[in-house]
Amino acid sequence: MVKLIPSIILLVSSTCAIAAAAPHTLTLHRQAKGSYKDMAASEGNRWAKKATSGVHTPAINDFFKYNIEVSIGHPPQASYPIFDTGSPYLWVSDQVYDVPKSASARSLNSSITLAYGAGNVTIDLYNDTISLGKDLIIKQELGVASNLTALQIQTEGVIGFAPEAMALAYTNQFSYIPTPMHNLIASHKIGKYLFAVDFRPLRNTTVNVANGQIDIGELDRSKYTGDVIYSPISKKSPFKYFWSTDVPKIKFGGKTMVSDLSAVLDTGSPLILATWKILQEIFSDIEGLGTDGRVMTVPKSQVHKLKDVTFELAGGSITYKTEQYLVPSFLEPDFGPTNGTQYTFFGVFGEFGLPLILGEPLMEHYYTIFDGVNKRVGFATRK
Ligand SMILES: *[C@@H]1O[C@H](CO)[C@@H](O)[C@H](O)[C@H]1NC(C)=O
Ligand SMILES: *[C@@H]1O[C@H](CO)[C@@H](O)[C@H](O)[C@H]1NC(C)=O
Ligand SMILES: *[C@@H]1O[C@H](CO)[C@@H](O)[C@H](O)[C@H]1NC(C)=O
Ligand SMILES: *[C@@H]1O[C@H](CO)[C@@H](O)[C@H](O)[C@H]1NC(C)=O
Ligand SMILES: *[C@@H]1O[C@H](CO)[C@@H](O)[C@H](O)[C@H]1NC(C)=O
Ligand SMILES: *[C@@H]1O[C@H](CO)[C@@H](O)[C@H](O)[C@H]1NC(C)=O
C-alpha cells in the first residue's frame, strides 16, 4: 500500500519555523536560451577538473541561479538542479528523470510536499544511483516532481546542501531523508563535511557559460588569498537549522544602521533579501527607495549617494561594494521596466522568520565556505 505522507512543512510556527528556506523567492527569471543541458554541454565540461583532493563540480549560471549537473539512474539521465544551500533535499522533474528507464530506481512508496519560498512542490520519493560531476557516485534518496506549476521559477530541480540539522528537524513532519552530503560522507566519497562555492558574476548576456565551481570535501586554496573570515553558525532559531551567521552590525559607508541581526547564506536566493524595514534602515540616507514588488530600486538621482554596505560578523566584516550591488545595465531587461530607477541586488522578503538572507549575488564576490566540521561559514577574498 502506498504510504502517503501528508504535505506539512510548517511555514509559521513558534517552535518550528524551519520551512525550506526560500531557495528561489522571485518570479524574476529569464527565459533561458536553450535548456540547461545545452548550456552545460557547450561550456560546462571544460570547467570540470579533478584536483588532488576534494572534488570540483562546475556551477552553471543562467543569471539568477546556479545549477550543477547531477546524473541519475542506470543508464544515467542528466539533470541540472539548482545548487541550494537553503534546503536539504534533492528532487528533479519527471521531464528529466524518467523513473521506468532506470534499472536501479527503487520506489520508497511515499510522497511529500516541500514548501519553498517560491512555492510548493510535491515529490514522490525514490532511491537511485546519482553522480555529481564525474567522481561522486552514491545511492541517494530523491524526489520526482510531476507538477511544477505552483513553483514560481523555472527549474528542472533542486539539490539541497543545507546542514544536516535541517533534515533532522524535518523528521517532525516525515521520516528522515538523508541529504546528498550525508550520503557522500557515509559512503566515504568525501572525508569532511565541508564545501565552498566559487561563483562568478556574469559580465554580459552570454548565459551558456559555467560560472565557477563548487568544491566539495576540501577547500581549493588556489582560489582565494589572505585569511578567511569565519563566523559560527547562529545558535538562534530558526537560523541554527541553516548555514547562517549572526550579524551584529550592518553599516552603510562607515555608519552603523542596523544591529543584532542573524542571516542565512542561501545560494538559491537570487538577491540579498531582507524585510522592507531593514532595507529602509540600511538605506535611510537615500530618498525615494522603492521596489517593483520585490527588487529594491533607487532613484537615478540618488545613485551617487549610495555607499558600500558592510556586514559585520564575529570574525571580521565583509563588504558589499556599491558597484557590486547595482544591477548592471545588460541585466536590466531581465528585471523589467526601470521607470527611471536603478535596480539593486537587494530585495524584500522576511517570511519564514528569516529577516535577512545573503544570496548568491553577495557570494559571487567571495570564496564562500560552508564548514560543517567546525559549524561555521567563511568568506575569503577571491583570487
Ligand atoms: C504550501 O504548503 C503549505 C503547507 O502545506 C501551505 O500552508 C501553503 O499555503 C502552501 N503554499 C502554497 C502557495 O500553496
Ligand atoms: C514499495 O512497494 C513495493 C510494492 O508493494 C514493494 O515491492 C517495495 O518493497 C516497497 N519499497 C519500500 C522501500 O518499502
Ligand atoms: C537507499 O539505498 C541504499 C543502498 O541500497 C540503502 O542503504 C538506503 O537505506 C536506502 N534508503 C532508504 C530510505 O531505503
Ligand atoms: C498542478 O498543480 C496545480 C497547482 O497546485 C493544480 O492547480 C493542477 O491541477 C495540477 N495539475 C495536475 C495535472 O495535477
Ligand atoms: C561574456 O562574459 C564571459 C564571462 O562570463 C566571457 O567569457 C566572454 O568572453 C564574454 N563575451 C563577450 C562578447 O564579451
Ligand atoms: C514600473 O511601472 C510599472 C507600471 O506601473 C510597475 O508595474 C513596475 O513595478 C514599475 N517598476 C519599477 C522598477 O518601479
State residue 210's pLDDT score. Answer: 56
Longest Cα separation, the chain: 65
Ligand 1 geometric centre to CA of 337 (Å): 30
| CA-wise closest residue to 190 among 48, 53, 69 | 53
| CA-wise closest residue to 55 among 283, 281, 231, 213 | 213
| pLDDT grade for 321, boundaries at 50, 70 and 90 | very high
Q: Given 186, 216, 246, which residue is the final one in a domain?
A: 216
Ligand 5 geometric centre to CA of 209 (Å): 9
Q: Given 216, 235, 263, which residue is the final one in a domain?
A: 216
Closest-lying ligand 6 atom to the alpha carbon of residue 341? 13
Closest-lying ligand 5 atom to the alpha carbon of residue 202? 5
Residue 255 belongs to some domain of the structure:
yes
Domain containing residue 273: CATH number: 2.40.70.10
Residue 97 belongs to some domain of the structure:
yes
Same-domain pairing of 362 and 272: yes
Same-domain pairing of 243 and 194: no
Q: Which helix H or strand E contains 367, and what residues bound it?
A: strand 366-371
Who wins on pLDDT, 37 or 221? Answer: 221
Q: Which domain holds residue 283?
A: 222-382
Grid coordinates representing 120 are 510548493
Residue 5 belongs to some domain of the structure:
no
Indicate the average pLDDT of the chain.
Answer: 81
Q: Given 155, 181, 216, which residue is the final one in a domain?
A: 216
CA distances 373 to 15, 131, 262, 282, 349, Å, are: 26, 23, 21, 33, 30
Ligand 3 neighbourhood includes 127 CB (under 6 angstroms): yes
Same-domain pairing of 103 and 226: no
Same-domain pairing of 70 and 183: yes
Ligand 4 neighbourhood includes 7 CB (under 6 angstroms): no
| CA-wise closest residue to 90 among 183, 216, 222 | 183
Ligand 1 geometric centre to CA of 120 (Å): 6
Q: Give 37: exposed, middle or buried? Use CB within 10 Å, 0-12, 13-18, 19+.
A: middle
- Which of 289, 292, 342 is the best mutation target for the ligand 6 pocket, counting ligand atoms within 8 Å of the beta carbon and taking the most? 292
| CA-wise closest residue to 257 among 310, 305, 322 | 310
For 17, residues 6+ apart whose C-beta sits below 8 A from its C-beta are 10, 11, 237, 238, 352, 353
Same-domain pairing of 72 and 203: yes
Same-domain pairing of 130 and 227: no
State residue 230's pLDDT score. Answer: 98
DSSP annotation string for 77-109: EEE--EEETT---EEEETTT--GGG-TT-EEEE
Q: Parallel, antiparallel, or unpaired for β 255-266 and 356-359? A: parallel
CB of 164 closer than 8 Å to CB of 179: yes
Residue 1 belongs to some domain of the structure:
no
Residue 335 belongs to some domain of the structure:
yes
CA 364, CA 325: separation in Å to the nearest integer?
A: 11
The pLDDT tens digits of the residues spanning 53-102 come to 344 555 554 456 778 889 999 999 998 888 899 889 999 999 999 999 99
CB of 29 closer than 8 Å to CB of 119: no
Residue 140 belongs to some domain of the structure:
yes
For 181, residues 6+ apart whose C-beta sits below 8 A from its C-beta are 161, 164, 193, 195, 372
Same-domain pairing of 113 and 164: yes
What residues are paired with 110 via a beta bridge?
3
The pLDDT tens digits of the residues spanning 258-277 come to 999 999 999 888 889 999 99
Same-domain pairing of 156 and 258: no
- The total domain count for the chain is 2
CA dihedral over 265, 125, 151, 146, signed as positive or negative: positive
Q: Which ligand is nearest to the CA of 147?
A: 4
The pLDDT tens digits of the residues spanning 327-366 come to 999 888 778 889 999 999 999 987 778 899 999 899 999 9
Residue 154 belongs to some domain of the structure:
yes
pLDDT > 80? residue 290: yes
**Structural Rg of the chain based on CA atoms:** 20
Residue 3 belongs to some domain of the structure:
no
Same-domain pairing of 146 and 260: no
Q: Which ligand is nearest to the CA of 291?
A: 6
Same-domain pairing of 130 and 274: no
pLDDT > 60? residue 306: yes
Same-domain pairing of 227 and 374: yes
CA 293, CA 349: separation in Å to the nearest integer?
A: 10
State residue 317's pLDDT score. Answer: 96
Same-domain pairing of 147 and 295: no
Ligand 1 binding site (Cβ under 6 Å of any ligand atom): 7-9, 11, 113, 115, 119-120, 150
Local structure of 14: helix, strand or coil: coil
- Which of 114, 123, 147, 152 is the best mutation target for the ligand 4 pocket, counting ligand atoms within 8 Å of the beta carbon and taking the most? 147
DSSP annotation string for 157-218: EEEE---HHHHHHGGGTS-----HHHHHHHTTS-SSSEEEEEE----SS---EEEEEEEESS
Q: List % helix, strand, coil for the chain (3-state, nearest 5).
A: 15, 40, 45
